[in-house]
Structure 1
Amino acid sequence: MSIESDEGTDLRQQMAVWRNRFLRLLDRSPAPTAISRPDGSLLIANPSFSALWGLTPGQIRDRNLVDLLVSTDEDSLRKLSEGLRYGRRFRYPIPVEWDTEGLTRTGQLTVEPVSDEFLTPTLLMTFLHVTDRAHDMERELAHALSPQEGRILALVASGATSALIARSVGLTPDGVNYHLSRLCRLLRVPNRTALVAKAYVLGLLPPASWPPDSRESR
């Protein structure tokens, strides 16, 4: 095997390692975040983003931002379109609306073009900040959690299993799973990963505790 082949293999392995690290960080991010092509086709979305439609990241992949979100400001879209055409690397705030579970939600989508230097933007990094009253109601409802549920939520965020949580809070694993199912219904998320992400968004978990320390679950 040639030296060039060995170097190429090492480089691919390093790229795979960094890609996996990036995806793990994206999944843990409390901010609804997605990466799309310039035409809006989604490549990656984290649990916080996909949970706003009651979906998982896998279910929302390949959907288009244009189909999910409706801009309420044509001037913002015009600025983004011009920025992409001329290669301007700014952050573009766009007020948006979307429908989910019979509700019309509102927020601000921040779009940041990403590419190698001097090249036309090849990706769009997008962040969605929810601003509607339904979000405030979720926050108020979430803060009514019992102390027991608060402890369970913190342990889930640390990466603890149901068995470890049960030993820590004095419940059976089935009892822990009951509370987790209730929390998922309350916050309208499909799974534990999305539950933790939304808990950070709503302020149920302190920002200083993010990212979770996996040593706590050992």
Structure 2
Amino acid sequence: MSAPVLEDLAQTVAPHVESDRAGSPQAHPQLDQPGLNLACLDRTLTIQEATPEFFRQFGTSAAGLCGRTFCDLVHPSVQQPLLRQFAGLVEGRRDRFATEVIAVGTEDEAFTVPLTAVAVRGGTPELSSILVMMSGREESVDAGVVSNRKKLLSEIDARILEGIAAGVSTVPLAARLYLSRQGVEYHVTCLLRKLRVPNRAALVSRAYSMGVLKVGVWPPKVVNDFIK
């Protein structure tokens, strides 16, 4: 979708995606069109209003989503990069961005989905709202391992995984964590078994694909949600 089309869409839709005056969040009938998957956020990224299609994509209702922060709907591994993108809109450094995110439904069903966010300023420099447009689901992600509430790792396992992902070999990693070489190898073996992979390279790849390691962060960092 071209930038002018996005601008026209934002100007057309923004007046209709505002909070219900009675205080009860609900989808606006003006937006009840098949395939129109939109949400309106305030400056704090709280969902103020959305279309019925948006609610359906997450398997819930207006009451279940309005008032929640948008980042609650995406996997922890992509929250920080997404927050940086939204900060650009809020701070006026950009007018829009497009990316792909891992969204998480009500039953921990994870799926990738293209997302476009447009700043709505109402003719002034100040941001009045953010219009989020999402396409249909592109593919499901391994639901058995991507659960954003699944505590997979102990604290020491997390630190070892971070070290392996950063390319730290066994001896320096052992010294860093005050473990013996055999202790590190034991934990690595447990990680290989837990993530069902044959070697360290596959372990790191698997951890990123599962969302256990944060995207766009260096040195590598395990998402806190996965630590017991």
Q: What is the TM-score when the length of structure 1 is the normalising length? A: 0.45
Name the one with the larger helix percent: 1
Q: Which has the higher contact order (CA 8 A, sep 6+)?
A: 1
Give the TM-score normalised by the residue count of structure 2.
Answer: 0.43
